[in-house]
Structure 1
Amino acid sequence: MALPVQERWDLVDAIARKTVTAGVYRQNLGDVLGDLTVRPLTGISVAVAVLYAFWSIFSSFAGALVTDGFMVKAFDNYWLPWLQEVWPDPASIHYFLFVGDPLAENCFEAFGMLTSGLFVSIGVVLPAVLIFYLMMTVLEDSGYLPRLAVLMDTVFHRIGLHGYAIVPVILGLGCNAPAVTATRVLETRKQRFIMMTLLAIFIPCGAQLGVMLEVIPDAVGWVMLFLLIGFGIFGFILDRIIPGSNPEILIDVPPYHWPLWENVAKKLMNRTKSFLKDAVPFVLFGVLVVNVLYLAGIIGALADLFEPLFVTWFGVPKETVGPLIAAFLRKDLAVAQLSAIAMTPYQMITAVVLVSIYFPCVATFVVMLREGWKELAAAVAVLVATVFIYGGLIHAVGILMGVA
């Protein structure tokens, strides 16, 4: 005969009392830190401190220590003079394509495939990418990123996303291509489209950031501010016009732990090898293509054609056409080109923002295409509208402030 329900529960309780031993929970330092970093009051302060430390180490190591302290001297004092000495016929086309300006005193201004191309990719971008991925891997393996996702959930819900969207955003600051792939962690098609589009438009990659820190350090803060504002405004608009649901975040938050340095080293090596394989050839090829277009007179013709748009609507010189063409190959290369054009500080800020939002680089373009050609076509349509609207708004702000 079956026991009544209450008697069965009493039996379960009796068995549990005899077989289960309750321990005493002792809170450790990891538990305390875990609680502090997910509560809004303390977590936001910790997040600001972490991101500030992230940025400070990134700029100090990549810019001041490696690029300025070593790479500039190696390329300008040894590599450039050697190339200028051994390369035959400074007046030839091949000299212009591969070495650049024969009167240049540094690799950055020479703008040859083997001078500016190698200096930008190896001397400026590689140190930036290396330190970025190192810090990113440490934050990821220590357990901080899931807590940052929980903390950012409320903010991202304002633009139709949830907190885990912070992962592709941070990845995008290293490279947009893997960041687009990382949008698959978002549940709905609407969320993935919004995140992919915002990444392609408003998130500068680590390579671009490295060049910006090197050539326009005083303007980087303003550029990032305009991009952050645009990210919020256009994300809010896309959330309202694109149908679909915005599910809540569901994420496992692991305890804090020390990263396994073997794993950190392996991830860092794989990501750096991927950069050397994918990015460096595009930088070199980009320099070559731009130089060929200059020699053929195509860039000059396009600059004259688009002069009314660039000068009147965007408020930048017509010469920015060349960097915009280069931006499709590599945005870091485009920023490097912009630094050689005579502009006011506000024009430089506007031009760099335009390069950032103008079009994804070809590597990101290919990855977006893999996600679906309909999504790519829709993202490009949003991008074109964003460039015209936001570029014009930035120019209007400059006019109102009297700095345009």
Structure 2
Amino acid sequence: MTALSMDERWSLADAIAGRTVRTGVFRRTLSDALGDLTISPLTGIPVAFAVLYAFWSIFSSFAGDLVTDGFMVKLFDAHWLPWLQSVWPDPQSILYFLFVGDPAAENCFEAFGVLTSGLFVSIGVVLPAVFIFYLTMTVLEDSGYLPRLAVLADTLLHRIGLHGYAVVPMILGLGCNVPAITATRILETDKQRFMMMTLIAIFIPCGAQLGIMLAVIPESVGLVILTLLVGFALFGFIFNRLLPGENPEILIDVPPYRRPMFENVSRKMKIRTMGFLREAIPFVLLGVLLVNVLYLLGVIGWLSSALAPVFVLWFGVPPETVGPLLAAFLRKDLAVAQLSTIPMTAYQMFASVILVSIYFPCVATFVMLLKEGWKFLGGAMLALMTVVFLYGGLIHLAGMLLGVA
């Protein structure tokens, strides 16, 4: 058998293709048109802003206005709190302080007991926020929109050493930092993974924290998020210049749009919501109990006095912020809730929420960083401490220059 020449090989390939491949007329569908519109920068960027705005509107309206303010506040403040205060014996006892809180409190936020603030924060505020976040995220994920958002974000994220895929852990971090840290494994290099994990732990508030922010500082939530995003971009740019390593180009498969299947959505919602109930609620209740015990032992008062110069002069916040910062290690949503009970100006409240956000990651995120290795954890902690002092001081300086601090 003689070997075929190159021309004969191509002729044979054409003959085989002619017998096996059938061609037809391409008919453009609505899905094709939407796919092109949402991936082209000229039309895709406005669509992305519209989607994110709708996402935020649904999140805040459902979690904040409809469920928390419309139902949970009335349930807990008008029924649960008065009932606990009436049936619990001896309002002057230590157990009353730990589990019910302040006897003079008129709402669960101010009471700060395990069975008052602890349950209200986790069930009345955080659970509705996390539920609607996971629902909208699952719909965007199953419809095929997230890969298109990654393509649109690629150019911007490349300027800080990441690529479009990084938008996936960023958005997941808005629900919970734990799966977001795990999702950084889709990035190719150790440099990108370290940058993304560190930036998520510092600058991306979880859905639970956002839910509490909507309840205690609804007028400042947008400014807080903008400040955190500016810090994300600023320190991402700095990390990219300081850390060695490569920044490979994005290679992503963009699937066609499809209708989300109810079975898949409900299954994901069940897994994610049950995971939140198992992981978050025990930490919230434990955090309230721990902070109250530290108050009784005088630890919070001692730390507030010792750290007052740093908090007041460098960060521009009251020394009482020490308590929420300790609680933030367990749950940052709990810490923001506790901030609302401290008398302070609007600027101090804004600066305190920022400080809680960029402060040490919650214990669940800390464990996930530890699972990635001591090198990642040690580097992330060093970067975090540096960012806290630099960015916290910079925000205070900006407040003084603007005359609001």
Distance, in Å, in 2 between the alignment partners of 1:336 and 1:183 is: 29
Alignment of 1:235-384 (within 5 A): 235-384=236-385
Instruction: Tell me the SS of whatever aligns to 1:310.
Output: helix
Aligned residue type for 2:24: G
Structure 2 residues without counterparts, runs of 5 or longer: none
Runs (4+) of structure 1 exceeding 2 A deviation are 1-5, 7-21
Cα distance change of structure 1 residues 19 and 368 upon mapping to structure 2, 3 Å threshold: closer
Alpha-carbon offset, residue 16 of structure 1: 3.0
Task: Give the paired residue count.
Answer: 404
Distance, in Å, in 2 between the alignment partners of 1:19 and 1:174 is: 49
Distance, in Å, in 2 between the alignment partners of 1:316 and 1:166 is: 32
Q: Is the 8 A contact 2:130 2:208 kept in 1?
A: yes
Q: Deviations over 1:34-88 (max 9, x none)?
A: 1111111111101000000000000000000000111011111111111111111
Alpha-carbon offset, residue 265 of structure 1: 0.4
User: Which residue does the alignment assign to 1:114?
Assistant: 115
Instruction: Tell me the SS of whatever aligns to 2:181.
Output: helix
User: Which residue does the alignment assign to 1:396?
Assistant: 397
Aligned-residue Cα RMSD (Å) equals 0.9
Distance, in Å, in 1 between the alignment partners of 2:19 and 2:66 is: 64
User: Which residue does the alignment assign to 2:182?
Assistant: 181
Aligned residue type for 1:214: A
Distance, in Å, in 2 between the alignment partners of 1:17 and 1:127 is: 58
Alpha-carbon offset, residue 282 of structure 1: 0.3
Distance, in Å, in 1 between the alignment partners of 2:12 and 2:266 is: 54
Distance, in Å, in 2 between the alignment partners of 1:123 and 1:93 is: 25
Distance, in Å, in 2 between the alignment partners of 1:176 and 1:335 is: 16
Alignment of 1:125-140 (within 5 A): 125-140=126-141
Aligned residue type for 2:92: A
Q: Deviations over 1:200-236 (max 9, x none)?
A: 0000000000000011001111111110000000000
Alpha-carbon offset, residue 293 of structure 1: 0.6
Alpha-carbon offset, residue 9 of structure 1: 2.2
Q: Is the 8 A contact 2:202 2:358 kept in 1?
A: yes
User: Which residue does the alignment assign to 1:219?
Assistant: 220
Q: Deviations over 1:138-182 (max 9, x none)?
A: 000000001111111111111111100011000000000111011
Q: Deviations over 1:263-284 (max 9, x none)?
A: 1001001100000000000000
Distance, in Å, in 2 between the alignment partners of 1:18 and 1:189 is: 49
Distance, in Å, in 2 between the alignment partners of 1:276 and 1:18 is: 59
- Whether 1:55 aligns to 2:51 is no
Worse overlay, 14-23 or 358-367: 14-23
User: Which residue does the alignment assign to 1:151?
Assistant: 152
TM-score normalised by the chain length of structure 1: 0.98
TM-score normalised by the chain length of structure 2: 0.98
- Whether 1:66 aligns to 2:67 is yes
Aligned residue type for 1:356: S
Distance, in Å, in 2 between the alignment partners of 1:116 and 1:138 is: 32
Percent sequence identity is 73
Aligned residue type for 1:103: A
Distance, in Å, in 1 between the alignment partners of 2:5 and 2:64 is: 75
Distance, in Å, in 2 between the alignment partners of 1:376 and 1:200 is: 11
Structure 1 residues without counterparts, runs of 5 or longer: none
Alpha-carbon offset, residue 15 of structure 1: 4.1
Instruction: Tell me the SS of whatever aligns to 1:190.
Output: helix
